[in-house]
Amino acid sequence: MHIPDGYLGPITWIALWIVMIPIWIIAAHKLEKDLKTKNVPLLAMGAAFSFVIMMFNVPIFGGSTGHAVGGTLIAIVLGPWAAVIAVSVALVIQALFFGDGGITAIGANCFNMGVVLPFIGYYIYKLISVNADITSSRQWIGAGIGSYIGINIAAALTGFEFGLQTILYPAVNGHFQYFMYPLSVSVPAMLMEHVLVFGFIDAIVTLLVVRYLQQTDPSLLNISDKASVTSIM
């Protein structure tokens, strides 16, 4: 799902950088205010987890790759604003040091995987698990469903950004400047592999970890409660 350099025109990648800068500032401010010192190592672990799981890239039809992200899991444990920082850190390191995702596309990648994915996944999880006991099966079921939907919406958005380039930058003498496939190809291509494969991988990893935490340290599933309240204030 990482967008490389050269796939998005400047109208798109500059706009998404502009969108992400205030989001990063807000996220950093909320973490400074809400994240307890003892939970900082969990944030680092979340970023490392997301980094590792995203390194398993599998090429898919349409010009991109598919992989799990882990953003919903981080959001469930630490809150969606923490997930913004953790996933963004992982994406920036991948882009700068491993060439996984473009430098110009950092804003787009962070928006898709670090904002849209964890926020959607988290609030679907909260909707399903509302008023449920911390040991209830609705916790891990909600986590799995939220993760699955979150990553698929992020994939659809990525496909939309790809296909949009053929509209913003039409072909000149039969050659496109940036991404060359229309929306009718890019969106289904991104969705197909995530709906059928990567969405289930992300969901299974998320629900298994949540189930494990329920049995070993359910208090970790309460950390995000305060963040979920402050995130909408």
Q: How confident is the model at residue 64 (pLDDT cuts 50, 70, 90)?
A: low
**Mean pLDDT across the stretch 16-41?**
92
With respect to residue 232, please indicate whether it lies within any of the assigned structural domains: no
Q: What is the pLDDT of residue 66?
A: 73
Q: Considering its fold, how many domains does the chain have in total?
A: 1
Phi, psi of 66 (to 5 degrees): -125, 150
Q: CA 71 → CA 133, 149, 188, distances in Å?
A: 23, 12, 22
| Spatial distance between the Cα atoms of 154 and 147, rounded to a whole number of angstroms | 11
With respect to residue 2, please indicate whether it lies within any of the assigned structural domains: no
Q: Is the pLDDT of residue 231 over 50?
A: no
For the chain, give the mean pLDDT: 90
The CATH number for 166's domain is 1.10.1760.20
Q: What is the pLDDT of residue 227?
A: 45
Q: Which structural domain, as residue segments, surrounds residue 170?
A: 10-220
With respect to residue 44, please indicate whether it lies within any of the assigned structural domains: yes
N- to C-terminal Cα distance for the chain?
A: 31
Cβ(9)–Cβ(168) below 8 Å: yes
Cβ(53)–Cβ(68) below 8 Å: yes
**Mean pLDDT across the stretch 63-72?**
79
Give the H or E element holding residue 96.
helix 80-98
With respect to residue 40, please indicate whether it lies within any of the assigned structural domains: yes
With respect to residue 70, please indicate whether it lies within any of the assigned structural domains: yes
Q: What is the pLDDT of residue 86?
A: 96
Q: How confident is the model at residue 38 (pLDDT cuts 50, 70, 90)?
A: confident
Cβ(6)–Cβ(162) below 8 Å: no
**Mean pLDDT across the stretch 200-204?**
94
Q: Is the pLDDT of residue 220 over 90?
A: no
The larger pLDDT score, comparing residue 8 to residue 61, is at 8
**Mean pLDDT across the stretch 137-161?**
96
**Mean pLDDT across the stretch 164-179?**
94
| Spatial distance between the Cα atoms of 33 and 158, rounded to a whole number of angstroms | 32
pLDDT over 70 percentage in the chain:
91
With respect to residue 115, please indicate whether it lies within any of the assigned structural domains: yes
pLDDT over 90 percentage in the chain:
74
Q: Is the pLDDT of residue 171 over 70?
A: yes
Residue 16: alpha-carbon gap to chain centroid: 15
Q: What is the pLDDT of residue 228?
A: 45
Residue 132: strand, helix, or coil: coil
With respect to residue 135, please indicate whether it lies within any of the assigned structural domains: yes
- E strands within the chain? 58-60, 64-66
Cβ(25)–Cβ(32) below 8 Å: no
With respect to residue 231, please indicate whether it lies within any of the assigned structural domains: no
**pTM of the predicted protein model:** 0.91
**Mean pLDDT across the stretch 123-150?**
95
Q: What is the pLDDT of residue 232?
A: 40
